[in-house]
Amino acid sequence: MKNPIENLNKIFDSRIRMGVMSILVVNEEVSFNDLKQMLDVTDGNLASHMVNLEENGYIKVHKGFIGRKTNTTYSITRAGEKAFKDHIEALENMIKGMK
Amino acid sequence: MFYKVLFMDSQHPPLETLQDIKRIMERSSRFISLSGWSGISAGICALVGAWAAQHRINSYVQTVYGGSFDSGRPRHYGLDTPAALYNDLFLIAAITFTTAFISAFIFTWIRSRRNGTRLWDRTVQRLAWNTMLPMVVGGLVILKAMEMEYFELVAPGCLIFYGLALVNASKYTLGEIRYLGYGQLILGIINLWAVRGGLYFWAAGFGVLHILYGAIMWWRYERKSSSQ
């Protein structure tokens, strides 16, 4: 029998990274501050998770300005969307396997 | 079957994780603090407004025509003028809209504080924009209809454009508001072919449907949390 846990994506083990992906999958473009507020995390903590997701090619970073203040926004990539979908499928299969 | 053991030990069981994901998706894309009480209070304001308007129209008909529009030519023209009627009705409409909006806002504000969500975030901005767009456009069309003295179109116009606004809004807040929108649209369209009953259709849509919707939403989402 195939082991369903091997389909789980290690990158999404973190609840924060999981949360970021959940938000980006239903919102086209979300700013760093909105993510921070929605997930209730600190700047430094979120930033390190965002770097991780970016390095894995799951999210795209857009650097912009509102006046003189930097405004960084994020969106999900195709690869990110697929990885997230596969991860959810794996979770669902685990639940089915439990019954 | 070793994986069963594995995730029994794990901190995030899959079902809980999936529920978390769903909650975050909903919370980040929809404004979910819209309170059922907002619908009920807006509906009550609308009924009071419709009653006041009916009262004012009756008094006009009584003074000028001596009972009914059908009794023919105006008999006491000058005691009450169409301009005065028009002004009063406009005032009643403005007061009704303002009180309905403020009361609806207050209940939703209370609920969002209880939920711990901010009242002016991205979800609210999107909801506001997508609701206001059809309503502002509709408002302009209705103003033009009044200017051209197509007063029969005011009530169905309000119902139809508000219905479209609600259907549009349903993507950005609790999805059930879509059915309230369908209800307004049906009433508005029937009203187009029953133009003399304008105020009754208006009261049914903005009054009765709002109260019904608000009560159902309160029953579904707020009953439990408020009894705790």
Instruction: Quote the CA–CA distance of B135 and B165 in Å, as a whole number.
Output: 6
* A41 CB within 8 Å of a chain B CB: no
Domain ranges of chain B: 34-63+74-227
Phi-psi region of A57 (alpha: psi -120 to 50; beta: other; left: phi over 0): left
Q: A19-23: which pairs have CB atoms within 8 A and are 24 or more residues apart?
A: A19/B20, A19/B24, A20/A46, A20/A49, A20/A50, A20/A53, A20/A59, A20/A74, A21/A53, A21/A58, A21/A76, A21/A80, A21/A84, A22/A84, A22/B20, A22/B21, A22/B24, A22/B25, A22/B28, A23/B24, A23/B25, A23/B28
Tell if the CB–CB gap between A92 and B14 is shorter than 8 Å: yes
Instruction: Quote the CA–CA distance of B20 and B26 in Å, as a whole number.
Output: 10
Q: Average pLDDT in the B103-124 region?
A: 84
Task: Say whether A72 sits in a helix, a strand or coil.
Answer: strand
* A19 CB within 8 Å of a chain B CB: yes
In chain B, residues with a C-beta closer than 8 Å to the C-beta of A39 are 24
Higher pLDDT, B144 or A39: B144
- Chain A residue with CA closest to B1: the answer is A3
State the count of interchain CB pairs (< 8 A) between A and B.
54
Task: Say whether B167 sits in a helix, a strand or coil.
Answer: helix
Question: Tell me, what's the pLDDT at B80?
Answer: 80
* B24 CB within 8 Å of a chain A CB: yes
User: What pTM value is reported for the model?
Assistant: 0.76
Our CA-based measurement puts residue A28 at a distance from the nearest CA of chain B, in whole angstroms, of 10
Is the pLDDT at B72 greater than 70? The verdict is: no
Give the model confidence (pLDDT) of B14-54 as tens digits: 788 888 888 888 888 888 888 999 999 999 999 999 999 99
Geometric angle at alpha carbon A77, from A47 and A49, rounded to 5°: 15
Question: Tell me, what's the pLDDT at A15?
Answer: 86
* A23 CB within 8 Å of a chain B CB: yes
Q: Average pLDDT in the B64-82 region?
A: 72
Lowest model confidence (mean pLDDT) among A10-14, A67-71, B10-14, B123-127: B10-14
Q: Percentage of chain A surpassing pLDDT 90?
A: 42
Please state the ipTM of this predicted complex.
0.80
* B121 CB within 8 Å of a chain A CB: yes
Domain A12-94 has what CATH class?
Answer: mainly alpha
Question: Tell me, what's the pLDDT at A64?
Answer: 85
Dihedral angle of Cα B85, B160, B203, B177, to the nearest 10 degrees: -140
Q: A79-85: which pairs have CB atoms within 8 A and are 24 or more residues apart?
A: A80/A21, A80/A24, A80/A53, A81/A25, A83/A9, A83/A11, A83/A12, A83/A56, A83/A58, A84/A12, A84/A21, A84/A22, A84/A25, A84/A58
User: How would you classify the pairing of strands A59-66 and A69-76?
Assistant: antiparallel
Question: Tell me, what's the pLDDT at B228?
Answer: 47
Is the pLDDT at B12 greater than 70? The verdict is: no
- Chain A residue with CA closest to B171: the answer is A26
List residues bridging with A59 in a β-sheet.
A76
Domain ranges of chain A: 12-94
Say which of A23, A34, A88 has its CB closest to residue B24.
Answer: A23
Tokens coding B65: 């025509």
Tell if the CB–CB gap between B28 and A92 is shorter than 8 Å: no
In chain A, residues with a C-beta closer than 8 Å to the C-beta of B7 are 5, 94
Tell if the CB–CB gap between A94 and B121 is shorter than 8 Å: no
Band of pLDDT at residue B63, cut at 50, 70 and 90: confident
Band of pLDDT at residue B8, cut at 50, 70 and 90: very low
